[in-house]
Amino acid sequence: MTQVLVVGAGPTGLTLAIELARRDIAVRIIDKTDEHFAGSRGDSIQPRTLEVFDDLGVLDAVLAAGIPTPIMRVHLGGQFVTERRMADPVEPTPDTPYPNLWVLGQSDTEAILRTRLAEFGVHVELGTALTDLGKNADGVTATLTHGATTETVTADYLVGADGGRSTVRKLLGIPFDGVTDESIRMLLGDVRADALDHEYGYWFAASEDRPMEGFALSPLPGGRHFQFAAGLDADTDPSLETLQAMADRYAGVPGLTLTDLSWVTGWRPNIRLAQRFREGRAFLAGDAAHVHPPTGGQGMNTGVQDAYNLGWKLAAALHGDESVLDTYESERRTVAARVLGLSTELLDKLVDGDETAMERGPQTRQLDISYRAPDDHGPLVAGDRAPDAPLRDADGRTVRLFDLFRGPHATTLVFGATTALPAASDARVYRVLRPGLGTADPHVIDVDGHAHSAYAAEDGTVVRVRPDGYIGGRD
């Protein structure tokens, strides 16, 4: 019996499948391709996604495989002029342990997610395409095609995480509003350039007068490849010859030969948002629901966070509480619309030759995403991200709030020793005590007061934290 059928095994579908599998939901995840995607595409992992990965149990692997944002060596007209970073590194703080962007090729991130999923006994079913969809009040019926054979699957819920050209979205008849801009094209690819030091990134621009005409090479971890990015004329082929011609024209580096082009694409801005993210028991997530320009490095991150928002709600619905499912569209469609606006603004800047288009400010880190109601004011209300804080547990060991949150459960924090603990619920409950103020179990000690200040908490404050690390409510 399948409770949830996930269509598409990109970063969105994989995150969702982990979220469901770790809650013991019977999930199947299918992908129409015969082989896993190999390419760096979304190689920027935003700080909020690192927090999600911490909760999913893949952060250590992601940190071990990736690199911080590299220093870019800027060349104008073949001459080195300066070094620059997309964003200056920021020191971690008690409430934000991972404040910086992390670089890892998307196919490597996907491989790490697949390994985690396999720990729950779930494997991606390759070569399996969804080709038709029927729905009724109790579930969905999907037609899957494997080569010449077809299979009919019924499931309680179905999620289309099947990318920008989503078959699920089309079969549901959900309009995908927006534009495809035929006037701009970008050339992206993964290529070796062994004449260059792989510790650095490079921006090779035409001249001081034309600083945005040229190409970028960003080092990819785990080998010698760089991600190549440049503007592309409408009638030029995305090929190794095209990349080499650009290198010859702009780089001015003797012996700069590009080799081993393992992935290449001519990307056209496609900027669209699905009118609805839900149709009965079928949902859309990730690129199936919103497609972005790559500027700002938001697309994959937004898809991962869609899945992280939807997973625990589907599990709750399957355990009898369908009410939370309604919040998926209202919360995530609003975020997607905002992210589309941001990445489009950065694309416009890039096209206008504005160098700040490459910078990564606080607005791209996704830490400030909040689902709070528009008229809610004040510190840390329902819908805000629940911050981290260093603590000590009952055995005197150092722990963090994120350690208490990690896992599929919700968490209730009861500040101070006097308020009664809430009656039985599914949440894990902890008292957060200042040093020397009792040891009623289960408790943690807020040694430096960071938890009290981050949560604007006084004695008696109760904060409910959702399984996805957002505030569910406070008293």
Ligand X SMILES: Cc1cc2nc3c(=O)[nH]c(=O)nc-3n(C[C@H](O)[C@H](O)[C@H](O)COP(=O)(O)OP(=O)(O)OC[C@H]3O[C@@H](n4cnc5c(N)ncnc54)[C@H](O)[C@@H]3O)c2cc1C
Q: How far is the CB of 68 from ligand X (least distance, A)?
A: 15
Q: How far is the CB of 433 from ligand X (least distance, A)?
A: 40
By CB under 6 A, which span of 7-15, 74-82, 322-330, 460-468 interacts with ligand X?
Answer: 7-15
- Tokens standing for residue 50: 């690192």
Q: How far is the CB of 270 from ligand X (least distance, A)?
A: 9
- CA pair distance 19, 468, nearest whole angstrom: 10
Footprint on residues 123-152 left by ligand X (CB under 6 A): 129-130
By CB under 6 A, which span of 58-66, 157-165, 170-178, 467-475 interacts with ligand X?
Answer: 157-165
- CA pair distance 278, 51, nearest whole angstrom: 26
Residue 471 interacting with ligand X (CB under 6 A): no
Residue 167 interacting with ligand X (CB under 6 A): yes
Is the Cβ of residue 6 or residue 465 nearer to ligand X in the bound state? Answer: 6
Helices 299-318 and 326-351: crossing angle in degrees, nearest 10, is: 180
What track of x and - describes contact with ligand X for positions 221 through 260 (by CB under 6 A)?
Answer: ----------------------------------------
The residue ranges of DSSP E strands in 223-269, in sequence order, are 225-231, 259-267
Q: How far is the CB of 328 from ligand X (least distance, A)?
A: 15
Out of 269, 299, 387, 469, the residue judged to bind ligand X by CB under 6 A = 299
Alpha-carbon distances, residue 440 vs 206, 399, 423, 429 (angstroms):
67, 17, 16, 12
Q: How far is the CB of 183 from ligand X (least distance, A)?
A: 17
Distance of CA 245 to the CA centre of its chain: 34
Does the bond joining 442 to the residue before it have cis omega, within 30 degrees of 0? yes
Of 89, 48, 83, give the one whose Cα is nearest residue 67.
89
277 Cβ partners below 8 Å, 6+ apart? 283, 284, 285, 289, 328, 329, 332, 333
- Tokens standing for residue 441: 């179990």
Is the Cβ of residue 334 or residue 419 nearer to ligand X in the bound state? Answer: 334
Residue 190 interacting with ligand X (CB under 6 A): no
Footprint on residues 18-57 left by ligand X (CB under 6 A): 30-33, 37, 41-44
Binding residues for ligand X, rule: CB under 6 A, are 7-13, 30-33, 37, 41-44, 106, 129-130, 161-163, 167, 188, 265, 267, 286-287, 294, 297-301, 303
